[in-house]
Structure 1
């Protein structure tokens, strides 16, 4: 099936839909059995999607897991109550005391906190690496390296990684390749075609698409799916069927939403490129973005999330710009229908393996589904406020 057709049909097997269009919302904690034989069968049938206990899943979660596998590939998908939970539990499922992991230096901040504040207590060492390291990753692999974790593009500074090269080298050293694929959303980047073993998403973002559900996924290859499934179950991870129903509904419009996000964002980014206040555009589709060549080679498209760096400014002027926005709201998430803005200073303090080359503030935008001319007008008046304050600072 073509991608758009797959999006419409994913997770809609007749055993989940029962003759209607959408899978039902099946809420359950206790599953009851007609006989001891049936109970034993369910308890021992961990590899198949059968009702056993609410934490193992219901027909709603089985339908959503199927949908994610059909979109991303892999052999199975584990579900979590947030994207952070998906990242941390995927890592915990495959590390032990004495292990070493390689973590991309652009990693989502909670991922870095998990490595620095929790994994160290369990005797797991983390080394951060340059997202553009490519084949140079081999020099950092140790005998006890178990996982190489990627995030491509980086969710703030947008560096695109050479995933297949890193994956090839990782597998030569028996390392598991994990990828935060939230930006790719399972549509714009097909992780298992490029050597990824476990693809993690904050489904909170584009999968759900409406800023009303916290949800995480980790999809794995046949080799790693049984361990990911059982360890996540042992760690107590489960999700709400009501949230999963909303995620299933979000999937149906994923393709058209991403297309519109991409179209709007490219128009805004091209307008920003003409602004005298902007030093550089960090959008994977622009050649000014580090790793742009890998985006061109590996991705099917982009979305609404990108950043740009100012060529002047201070915190007071940046605050004036941010505070003046009407259509862009300030928020730490992205992937919903609404436009968001985030101003960031001090990026040099957020890196340990690489040097951030810019002195002035970075602004991250998520371009939503509003009329793009209204968004540009909003940014234009924001720049006016920025200059007014800058002139008096």
Structure 2
């Protein structure tokens, strides 16, 4: 079977590799000149354990399984990976109830999580401050770009093709196949590709690509920029592994946290502010089309109206390194603005419904001979191999219908 996979991020490549290994003739296309150019290559590199997600959700099931499968895959293929463990810390007594609820949720998801005292927490992270904490041993870090290199190699080794610099313009199911239009980014020349099936992992442009294929995405992608800082060497030496705050249950974001990456440094972040472009990695990156898309979507205004104070706090922290440092200092006392060195930002593709509800779980839409990933935020990278298994089953289901 000939399958066209759109998107050379980790989900597209994991799905392509899985289909290629079973004998399908796979072609991957991506508009960028390199693999993992957006969400995959710009995240914190964390292998999430499955702690945060609603029991029974796709995130919970695939994320928990993904922590094991991603770690094993990286180790087997020589990709840098380390299981460092993580502390989720309550900075004051008001957060202890939420910390306990998080422990119950993690246990329901099969995550080996345990509550620890401040004294025991400091045995893992001597410099942190807390009134209570959770310890999760299965959390780690990995080189996701390295994972993508391996997956792309598996596609090629199985006879598949990875075409970079090829922009997918849309497709239509026609009889026993799918006809897609792909443009060479350099020359603008368009080509038609014919396949038996289509899998679209469009990330920041997932909703647009679904509509270009005649599929209702059921939500609109709204981009949130996450800004990071690297800790200066003296501050970084005070952090051993991963330290997270207790998340605000109203948001799908986990708050500013500390991560010792596979390269050895420690980065802090991200915050979460509305980006002015879907690929708006800098404050000055503005797309009128993307602004119009977001600004005319009723869901964005409803979301903003319900969250004026926390939204304003995120913007203020984005504009002030001193405020960002204060957020870090709640975890690591003594951190100042001088300890923070700017690092590359990422943009999260967050699906938002018309009523203002954030799509919290992975969201997949299907059509005859087509499978579209609409919403795949964290822990999608962790769960990529399990999501690929899920998409394979979805593809087989729509082909059998």
TM bin (shorter chain): under 0.3
Q: TM-score, normalised by structure 2?
A: 0.23
- Relative contact order (C-alpha < 8 Å, sep 6+): which is higher? 2
Identify, as 1 or 2, the structure richer in helix. 1
Identify, as 1 or 2, the structure richer in strand. 2
